[in-house]
Chain A
Amino acid sequence: MPDSTPKRPRPLSPNIQIYRPQLTSVLSIVNRITGVILSVSAVVLVIWLTAAATDPQAYAAVQGAIASWIGQIMLFGCTFAFFLHLCGGIRHLVWDTVHGFELRSIYASGWAVVTASVVLTVAAWVASLVLAG
């Protein structure tokens, strides 16, 4: 096989440290980070469901942990991550149909994702707090 080792170090591709963050690049990595956060949340979901299946005491223990202030902050973060990943994912599905690749469209859909995620997160928590009484 031919030796593909470079004779001298070649310049690396654009370094993220010297690039000004843009909406496009930030939302790209946000979709990944929220995916990882939601993977961890999925583990909690299974624990919560298993506790509900076990007995009222186990369920109360998990509910208590979620109801604590740190649990509520994490749940709020999970809600925001969920809506960001949902809206960002729908944006990706639209892109998969080869639509919305113009620079204007990309920024419009990007800000739409951010706005919709904030609105949906706030709406979900307001609805939850109203129903809780």
Chain B
Amino acid sequence: MDRQHTRSPLARASGLGSAKAGVEHWWAERVSAVALVPLTLWFVASIIAHTGADHATFIAWLRTPLATILMILPLIALFHHTALGLQVIIEDYVHSGAKFAAVIAVRLGCFALACAGIVAALRIAFSG
């Protein structure tokens, strides 16, 4: 007799179903989206303003504290939002055993990329 059979129907149902951790996921996706609206617009505007700029000019701008902060903040919000969004897509379309592995891979990959991006921004900020 496995565990599923020894438990009552109520015990099996409680805490499961559609409201498992969906609210937190849904809410985090919205909060990160709201944060990303001004942060990404700032980023795109900054990139446009630096079209054709050489490495020294670009670094000189990115080294300013405000530019560093406004580069790190969107990296955090972006990869949080990316992990949440890709997880939903995987859960909707992947129904094999690869689903679990794919969600974990996306989550860890987003952590690694956010970390790499933040380190790059800090290296520029504290260089020289």
A-to-B contact residues, CB < 8 Å:
1, 32, 35-36, 38-39, 42-43, 45-46, 49-50, 52-53, 56, 59-60, 79, 82, 86, 89-90, 92-93, 96, 124, 127-129, 131-133
B-to-A contact residues, CB < 8 Å:
4-5, 30, 33-34, 36-37, 40-41, 44, 47-49, 51-52, 54-56, 58-59, 62, 71, 75, 78-79, 82, 85-86, 89, 113, 116-117, 119-121, 123-124, 127
Q: Is the CB of B117 within 8 A of A96?
A: no
Closest B residue to A38 by CB, please name it: B82
Which residues on the A side are within 8 Å of B127 (C-beta)? 53
Query: Cα distance A35–B124 when bound, in Å?
Result: 28
| Set B48, B58, B120: member contacting A128, Cβ < 8 A | B48
In the assembled complex, the CB of B26 is this many whole angstroms from the nearest CB of chain A, namely 9
Query: Cα distance A89–B33 when bound, in Å?
Result: 7
Interface majority SS on B: helix, strand, loop or mixed? Answer: helix
Query: Cα distance A42–B89 when bound, in Å?
Result: 17
Q: 21 A-B contacts, Cβ less than 8 Å apart?
A: A32-B89, A35-B89, A36-B86, A42-B78, A42-B79, A45-B117, A46-B75, A46-B116, A49-B71, A49-B120, A50-B116, A50-B120, A53-B123, A53-B127, A56-B56, A59-B58, A60-B55, A82-B44, A86-B37, A128-B51, A132-B51
